[in-house]
Structure 1
């Protein structure tokens, strides 16, 4: 088997993923980590060896942490998790734009995939029905972002192998 074929047969060897989560609404946002962990386990990865989890104050702090992690060369991908809610003012839209734009910039500048489970629901009210709904939703989003992360790492590894 040549080098190119070896890279394609197991393109997630020694995978390292950093997960950066905002502390605001921690009880909901941390559910994404459950989904990420579950999906990586389903894909046969050793979660303890694969994931590094970092908690930051809020969503606004995520891009800088993602940049430092991406530039460290220690991680194959970074996943951002946050819940940015409308508190009755338009500030949430500015925070959302800043975070998403920052994550994209980190990804493009570093060449490291940066994936987002930063959710900005149109309507979130701090009562049990919404808290339960969004907690379950974050589990699903965690599974989806983990799956997208693996696909991104695989395709980039394949692309980089062909470019050597």
Structure 2
């Protein structure tokens, strides 16, 4: 894709990018693989080991509150949610998928920090296993790109990094 006037090219240089990663332990074989691929790619892109915080939570429903705490800290340029929800025989799958996704998205919008949602939602464990490597890498690349994009916008748009003030 060529750069046109006024465009902002993708920047995958992880130098100086601080990333918080929240990993669900449920379906741990899958989520450990996602984390390994994500961490490896973050380091390959130039994110320093000391600029990565990795924490784990019990499952996908607990990811949003942990992300929110990280977002509140103001210490991260991007956050990543890693998890795996595999369909079972009950409606619980739909609730977990929808509510974790809603919570993850709300953190990004409420705190003005990019949050990469890489909670796999699959019909079978095999489908999730097939996606581990690619999706872990995708999560890292999206986090670095979005962290850089937000910094570029902060530097180039008037008022982009200003806090939104409440009308009281």
Look up the match of 1:19. 21
Post-superposition shift, 1:138? 1.4
Residue 60 to residue 113, structure 1, CA distance change in 2 (3 Å): same
Distance 1:136 1:51 in 2: 25
What SS class does the counterpart of residue 84 from structure 1 fall into? strand
Pair 1:30-2:32 in alignment: yes
Of the three residues 108, 131, 139, the one matched with 1:137 is 131
Distance 1:39 1:68 in 2: 24
TM-score by length of 1: 0.83
Q: Which runs of 5+ in 1 are unaligned?
A: 1-8, 125-129
Look up the match of 2:82. 81
Distance 1:123 1:45 in 2: 33
Total equivalences in the alignment: 149
Pair 1:160-2:151 in alignment: no
Look up the match of 2:111. 110
Pair 1:43-2:45 in alignment: yes
Native 8 Å contact 2:68 2:107 kept in 1: yes
Look up the match of 2:161. none
Q: Which runs of 5+ in 2 are unaligned?
A: 1-10, 159-168
Distance 2:144 2:37 in 1: 14
Distance 2:132 2:115 in 1: 18
Post-superposition shift, 1:144? 0.5
Native 8 Å contact 2:21 2:52 kept in 1: yes
TM-score by length of 2: 0.81
Post-superposition shift, 1:11? 6.9
Native 8 Å contact 1:19 1:78 kept in 2: yes
Post-superposition shift, 1:54? 0.5
Look up the match of 1:3. none
Residue 146 to residue 66, structure 1, CA distance change in 2 (3 Å): same
Per-residue CA shift, 1:34-64, capped at 9, x if unaligned? 1112212221232x21211111011100001
Per-residue CA shift, 1:69-92, capped at 9, x if unaligned? 011111111100111111201111
